[in-house]
């Protein structure tokens, strides 16, 4: 883990605000959430910036933010959009830290990526540090399997992990192209080292590619040798990192059974970050974009229980009122870090730039960016 990343985590653990601690304070400047002029101020700031700015909004963002996004999408679509737009001077990324890092890596040097709230991180991305990953890789080298192992890292990972992946012959993937990424990897090696979401890796390997659960082992970075024997590591086809999404990990087989008992004829639609027993018992499984398409193309009157982030489920329910749409978990749960970016933070960030003050810029150092860009470009080049 880099010193700056460790410092950030320590500050967050102490309940401190990263913006103020880094000297990028918006104290006394951030508009109140109840400000009746917020929408007008956002419209005015966006108009003042014009073509100099592009706002990217992830599907899991609040509606109050999404309404101002120039492009809305999942992490894959937004990465493509960032790379394709080489003219916008400022890119306001309404998502989380790892997404803004990827945008900075893929854009040109004269473009500046801004994350409206620096505390918008990702618990899954934080579950794999560069030191931990390098320690695992050193074990693979000692066992003589590193040269036949291709690392694949999920988009939900830090720039440092993407850099490790690119430097060691691997690629980035998203939930929409994980199968293609794994097939690409197996064309080039005998094993895959999948980071940091064990569930996406397992579900893709077993349910999409026909491997068995026994072909997959889980590397626990907090245990010596990953809590695996040397033979387990040598015989595995997929080595999964012990990471997960705190939102998608909440959904259970019990949720599915209860929903089917409660609503006859309902279809279960889940994200592949969910646990294996959830995904294997769902009717439809897909990335965020695929979930949206499934509802868009579904017949009027159809019934759905969706296992993904609540902002998106609510938006789909409000858009397709002629379908019956339920949140799969009986307990309401937003992604706490995605939900940090609200309209006051977006307005503050845009108005600051309008007034000539750059705030909350996300910048990846050149050495890290060099190898991370290789991994990202391999992802974007997948058929």
Look up residue 250 and give its two tokens. 């909440």
The pTM of this model reads: 0.86
254 phi and psi angles, rounded to 5 deg: -60, -40
CA 175 to chain centre: 9
Distance CA 55, CA 78 (A): 10
Whose CA is closest to 154, among 176, 130, 187? 176
Q: Strand, helix or coil at 240?
A: strand
Count of helix runs (H) and strand runs (E) in the chain: 17, 14
Helix H or strand E segment including 270: strand 267-270
Angle (CA) 338-154-181 rounded to 5° is 140
Q: Where are the beta strands (DSSP E) in 157-278?
A: 171-173, 191-195, 216-219, 238-241, 267-270
Q: How many CB atoms lie within 10 A of CB 383?
A: 6
From first to last of its 383 residues, the chain has per-residue pLDDT tens of 443 444 444 343 333 344 444 444 455 588 888 888 999 999 999 999 999 999 999 988 999 999 999 999 988 888 889 889 989 999 999 999 999 999 999 999 999 999 999 999 888 999 999 999 999 999 999 999 999 999 999 999 999 999 999 999 999 999 989 999 999 999 999 999 999 999 999 999 999 999 999 999 999 999 999 999 999 999 999 999 999 998 899 999 999 999 999 999 999 999 999 999 999 999 999 999 999 999 999 999 999 999 998 889 999 999 999 999 999 997 766 777 777 899 999 999 999 999 999 999 999 999 999 999 999 999 989 87
Residue in this structure with the two tokens 């845009």, named with its chain if needed:
350
All structural domains of the chain, each given as residue ranges with its CATH number in brackets, are 3-121+338-365 (3.40.50.10800), 125-245 (3.40.50.10800), 248-327 (3.40.50.10800)
Look up residue 368 and give its two tokens. 């890290």
């Amino acid at each position: 883990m880099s010193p700056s990343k460790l410092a950030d985590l320590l500050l967050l653990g102490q309940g401190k605000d990263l913006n103020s601690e880094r000297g990028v304070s918006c104290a006394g400047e951030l508009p109140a959430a109840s400000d009746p002029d917020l929408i007008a101020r956002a419209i005015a700031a966006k108009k003042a910036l014009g073509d100099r700015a592009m706002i990217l909004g992830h599907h899991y963002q609040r509606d109050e933010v999404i309404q101002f996004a120039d492009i809305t999408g999942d992490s894959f679509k937004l990465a493509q959009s960032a790379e394709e737009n080489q003219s916008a001077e400022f890119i306001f990324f309404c998502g989380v830290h790892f997404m803004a890092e990827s945008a900075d890596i893929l854009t040109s040097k004269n473009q500046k990526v801004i994350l409206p709230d620096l505390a918008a991180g990702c618990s899954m991305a934080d579950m794999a540090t560069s030191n931990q990953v390098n320690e695992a890789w050193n074990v693979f080298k000692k066992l003589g399997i590193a040269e036949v192992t291709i690392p694949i890292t999920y988009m939900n990972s830090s720039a440092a992990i993407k850099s490790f992946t690119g430097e060691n012959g691997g690629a980035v993937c998203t939930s929409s192209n994980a199968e293609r990424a794994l097939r690409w990897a197996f064309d080039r090696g005998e094993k895959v080292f999948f980071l940091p979401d064990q569930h996406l890796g397992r579900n893709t390997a077993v349910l999409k590619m026909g491997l068995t659960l026994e072909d997959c082992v889980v590397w626990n970075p907090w245990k010596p040798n990953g809590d695996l024997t040397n033979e387990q590591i040598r015989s595995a086809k997929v080595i999964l990192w012990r990471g997960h999404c705190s939102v998608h990990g909440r959904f259970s087989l019990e949720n599915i059974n209860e929903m089917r008992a409660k609503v006859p004829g309902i279809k279960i639609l889940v994200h592949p970050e969910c646990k294996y027993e959830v995904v294997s018992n769902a009717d439809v499984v897909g990335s965020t974009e695929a979930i949206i398409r499934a509802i868009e193309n579904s017949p009027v009157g159809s019934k759905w229980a969706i296992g993904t982030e609540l902002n998106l489920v609510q938006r789909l329910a409000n858009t397709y009122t002629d379908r019956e749409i339920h949140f799969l978990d009986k307990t309401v749960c937003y992604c706490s870090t995605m939900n940090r970016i609200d309209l006051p933070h977006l307005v503050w960030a845009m108005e600051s730039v309008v007034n000539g003050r750059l705030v909350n810029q996300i910048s990846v150092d050149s050495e890290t960016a060099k190898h991370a860009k290789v991994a990202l470009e391999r992802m974007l080049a997948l058929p």
